[in-house]
Amino acid sequence: MSWSDRFIGIPYLDLGRTRAGCDCWGLACVIYREELGISLPEYLGDYASPDELAEVAALIDRDRASLLWVPVSGPAMAFDIALFRRGRWSSHVGIVIRHGLMIHMVADDHAKVQTYRDGPYKHRFQGHYRHVSRAVERPVQILSEARR
């Protein structure tokens, strides 16, 4: 059993930040809070709907340049954030289970596990990002968490 199994099936909800319903960033907030004890910024009030792609992309671009997230140059590890384009905007995230496999929120559906090394997400992939608090951990610690 993977840690991600506990989140499969959470329903989609615009601006949701709980197990009762989430958008893609809300799912990251729930997973980081429950699995890692890390509170991510919720951005509630910063955009009206995940469909406002330009506003969401602007928030993502701002935070990509912040000290909160470190770009990953090698293979992704469990709990890294995978960033994807929707159209021309970088506005969708998934949480890495292992390199090439993510859990993410499918709009108007629920949280699902999906590969992103091929299929519809392959050409939309923009990069991996690691939370700064995890960037200093030893890979052995991160791998042991991924096996939970």
Q: How many domains, the chain?
A: 1
Please check the confidence at residue 145 and state whether its pLDDT lies above 60: no
State the CATH number of the domain containing residue 82: 3.90.1720.10
Q: Which domain holds residue 72?
A: 3-146
Q: Write down the pTM of the prediction.
A: 0.83
Phi, psi of 69 (to 5 degrees): -125, 135
CA distances from 35 to 6, 29, 54, 122, 143 (A): 10, 10, 30, 27, 14
Name the residue with tokens 């960037």. Answer: 135
- Residues 73 and 17: their CA atoms lie apart, in Å, by 29
Convert the pLDDT of each residue in 31-49 to its tens digit.
Answer: 999 999 999 988 776 666 6
| Residue 21, token pair as written in the block | 């319903």
- Residues 54 and 52: their CA atoms lie apart, in Å, by 6
> How many alpha carbons lie under 13 Å from residue 22 in its C-beta half-sphere?
26
Between 43 and 53, where is the model more confident?
43
Between 115 and 52, where is the model more confident?
115
Give the model's confidence band at 144: pLDDT under 50 very low, under 70 low, under 90 confident, else very high. very low
Percent of the chain with pLDDT over 70: 80
Q: What is the pLDDT of residue 137?
A: 57
